[in-house]
Structure 1
Amino acid sequence: MSSLFPTYARWNIEPVKGEGTSLVDQSGKEYLDFTSGIGVLNLGHCHPAVTEAVKAQLEALWHTSNLFTLQIQEEAASLLTGLSGLDRVFFCNSGAEANEAAIKLARKATGRSKVVTCLQSFHGRTFATMAATGQEKVRTGYGTMLESFSYVEFNNLEALERACGEDTAAIMVEMIQGEGGIRPIQEGYIEKIKEICQKTGALLIVDEVQTGIGRTGKAFAFQHFNLQPDIVTSAKGLGNGLPVGAMLGSEVLSAHFGPGSHGSTFGGNPVCLASAKAVLKEISRNGFLEEVNEKGKLLLQGLKDGLGNAEVVKEIRGKGLMIGIELKEEAAPYLEVLQDKGLLVLTAGPNVLRLLPPLTVTRDEIQSAANMISGLFAKKTQAV
């Protein structure tokens, strides 16, 4: 009997070794890993540059506290501000913590409480981020939620305008709804958000926990648009497997997050930031993000070519190496079939297969995965 709380519906796979896009289980079976630890391992398993950076930091210093000045924090923060166009960084341990900090900062800076988010969004499982999440199933069973959150239909301009006013502290949005089904934001919706924020004084929080750190072919997904948020949150791919989260904000907001206003015991841990620094340097390497864009197009086209006649497939969508295959039926049964074939993928909602390969995936691995998926649904179509 397990000593763990049964909070996860676990697969019958026990990984024992990983390298790049390869994951090996306890029986010796090798898988092509298109989950990346749910969008975390953007550089793949055991990336050499990350491994060496972490080893070196482990031999120097593990932890002090945030009472001390740490050069590695300044260096990692500088890389993040350089990539994002924002000015200040607060380090924490996860996406939920980053979003929690963003909500606190937005309320404190504006003196308002209302935060408008989208239906089918996902922002975390703490009480504030659970309340921000536009999925009832996440909030069920936990009693009264934190007040002053309002949910609107994603990409619905009229609904957004009706929900926002002079009492709105922030609009909080994902550029692509990850857990909500790999649903990209529309440019018109972004323009409406910008208009409302300018008119009402509300801040714009962009949740880049899953879409950031190169996942969509830009350092951050908001950079595909003419957009500069007030606050951006990051985690997952930032540490490539080590627990790192970050909230980034504009300079004008720094006055509202002074000493004692917020904190995190382990936030900015030097070992975790050694990993983050290595990741940020790698995605900043000349040509890296261009390669992600090209590989994303290759994967998307390979799936469209292979699944064009599949009766069960409704739509294929995404950006960079964040792809969703929406089905006309439940997606979960297909996971185990693909696992048997040696391919690991995820779901995003009940009807969407989610592909999040490492950004370092090779073109041959992309073709192999596309062929496995196409072959599976080709058989399904023939059976129909």
Structure 2
Amino acid sequence: MTLDDWRDRLGDAFMQTLVIPKVMLERGDGCHVWDIDGKRYLDFLAGIAVNSLGHAHPALVEAVSRQSASLVHVSNYFATPPLLELAERLRRLTGAGDGGRVIFGNSGAEAIEAALKLAKLNKGPHGRRHRILALANSFHGRTVGALSLTGKPVLRADFEPLVPGVEHIDTTLEALEHAIDDHVAALVLEVIKGEAGVIDLPEGFLRRARELTERHGALLIVDEIQTGVGRTGEWFAYQREGIVPDAVAIAKGIAGGVPIGALVTFGWASDLFKAGQHGSTFGGNPLATAAANAVLGEIERAGLVENAARRGAELRERIAAIGSPLVTELRGAGLLVGVGLAEPVASAVAAAALDDGLIINAPNETSIRLAPPLIIGDAELDEFEGKFRTALEKAA
């Protein structure tokens, strides 16, 4: 099958919501993938921060194979050992502890949908809390509810009106101070805005958000879909700031590519949902939860959270050492890195990298996003440095 053949077939069969890909991948191993023509690529995007253990990791392969031979799905009318194990594991890793509770879904967008419903339940003793705050230029997903929280007008415009009551504020301490009052039910935010180009929150913003929401009885809901599961060098990015949220949305890297999402609640927020108010047919099925337990267990066993912190620092050092005049800024934390560019050539950089066998991402024209598997080592950093240098030179 030639490139033109499969692109034509995909164009005919696939909904026109995304640009037709330039490459059709066939298999993967570790930090590399191969296309149908046998060309090898170094994967420094990891399925957009999903493939925490890289590709075809034995721990994940074994867990999925073993679980699929016994139970794949039972619905949420029943419990299974992997479901209970994962719920308790997430309470421990997030710091929610004994007062925490977990709701499972199938994606990050579904975790955010659960978070939005949780926010709506926080009406306060007199039913006065009706405002839900989110940040400008944020991204929380593409369902109607998640899109309502997403602070990107270009994504929202064709689907208005969306869920009422959501307000988007600038990501400044001044806007935060002005916006939060006793009518706010929740503030929903990303600790690092991944889809915006890996943009960090201002210094002190998250800690002040925690103080103000606590003072006014509002929920602080943290979207860790892209930043969670060790990617930033901590299990969750909010832990770097020393705060505890009221709820955290998790997905992407939790099961290494098997679809799953979760909302974990803390303290009094765990008592807001009542029986029948939320559910998911596939959410928490034994296959996905067994996969997640295997991935999280391997991350702990192999010290991959620490590896993300160490290798992330080395990755930044190597990019800086290239000395390209195009590179003006390095953002993010751990192995979620945003490379700020001096000119709007990010697409050209990403295309040149792909031609040379390096997978990276251009979330906008002045940013490159890097999110490699948590397992990267010296060999992968060496290969990345050479290929990224070449891509920058070609784009310049």
Residue of structure 2 equivalent to 1:273: 289
SS of 1:187's equivalent? coil
1:101 paired to 2:117 = no
1:19 paired to 2:36 = no
Shift of 1:103: 1.2
Task: Tell me if the contact between 2:207 and 2:241 (Cα under 8 Å) persists in the aligned partners.
Answer: no
Cα 1:53–1:191 shift into 2, 3 Å: same
SS of 1:223's equivalent? helix
1:123 paired to 2:123 = no
Shift of 1:314: 2.3
Task: Tell me if the contact between 1:219 and 1:283 (Cα under 8 Å) persists in the aligned partners.
Answer: no
Distance in 2 of aligned mates of 1:69 and 1:364: 43
Residue of structure 2 equivalent to 1:246: 262
Distance in 2 of aligned mates of 1:78 and 1:367: 39
Shift of 1:221: 0.8
Residue of structure 1 equivalent to 2:298: 282
Task: Tell me if the contact between 1:299 and 1:367 (Cα under 8 Å) persists in the aligned partners.
Answer: no
Distance in 2 of aligned mates of 1:192 and 1:133: 21
Task: Tell me if the contact between 2:149 and 2:166 (Cα under 8 Å) persists in the aligned partners.
Answer: yes
SS of 2:301's equivalent? coil
Deviations 1:180-223, CA, capped at 9 Å, x for gaps: 11011233112220221122111100000000011111111111
Q: In angstroms, what is the RMSD of aligned CA positions?
A: 1.4
Aligned residues: 378
Shift of 1:286: 5.8
Distance in 2 of aligned mates of 1:235 and 1:95: 5
Distance in 2 of aligned mates of 1:378 and 1:4: 35
Deviations 1:239-265, CA, capped at 9 Å, x for gaps: 111110000001422322122010101
Residue of structure 2 equivalent to 1:56: 66
SS of 1:78's equivalent? helix
Q: Please, which of 336, 354, 359 is the counterpart of residue 339 of structure 1?
A: 354
Distance in 2 of aligned mates of 1:291 and 1:187: 25
Residue of structure 2 equivalent to 1:91: 104
The one-letter code of the counterpart of 2:348 is P
Distance in 2 of aligned mates of 1:270 and 1:230: 27
Q: Please, which of 38, 49, 53 is the counterpart of residue 39 of structure 1?
A: 49
Residue of structure 1 equivalent to 2:390: 375
1:209 paired to 2:222 = no
Q: Please, which of 79, 86, 93 is the counterpart of residue 69 of structure 1?
A: 79
Shift of 1:330: 3.2
1:158 paired to 2:180 = no
Q: Please, which of 189, 194, 197 is the counterpart of residue 213 of structure 2?
A: 197
Task: Tell me if the contact between 1:119 and 1:153 (Cα under 8 Å) persists in the aligned partners.
Answer: yes
Q: Please, which of 358, 361, 367 is the counterpart of residue 376 of structure 2?
A: 361
Task: Tell me if the contact between 1:321 and 1:357 (Cα under 8 Å) persists in the aligned partners.
Answer: yes
Task: Tell me if the contact between 2:32 and 2:43 (Cα under 8 Å) persists in the aligned partners.
Answer: yes
Q: Which runs of 5+ in 1 are unaligned?
A: none
Residue of structure 2 equivalent to 1:324: 338
Moved more, 111-120 or 169-178: 111-120
* Correspondence 1:174-189 to 2 at 5 A: 174-189=190-205
The one-letter code of the counterpart of 1:108 is L
Distance in 1 of aligned mates of 2:392 and 2:279: 49
Shift of 1:21: 0.6
Distance in 1 of aligned mates of 2:290 and 2:313: 31
1:134 paired to 2:151 = yes
SS of 1:284's equivalent? helix
Shift of 1:361: 1.4
SS of 1:54's equivalent? helix
Q: Which runs of 5+ in 2 are unaligned?
A: 1-8
Distance in 1 of aligned mates of 2:167 and 2:310: 38
The one-letter code of the counterpart of 1:325 is V
* Correspondence 1:228-267 to 2 at 5 A: 228-267=244-283
1:170 paired to 2:170 = no
Residue of structure 1 equivalent to 2:162: 145
Distance in 2 of aligned mates of 1:370 and 1:120: 30
The one-letter code of the counterpart of 2:327 is V
Distance in 2 of aligned mates of 1:7 and 1:71: 38
Distance in 2 of aligned mates of 1:97 and 1:113: 21
Cα 1:67–1:380 shift into 2, 3 Å: closer
Moved more, 70-79 or 91-100: 70-79
- What TM-score, normalized to structure 1? 0.95
- Runs of 4+ deviating beyond 3 Å: 378-381
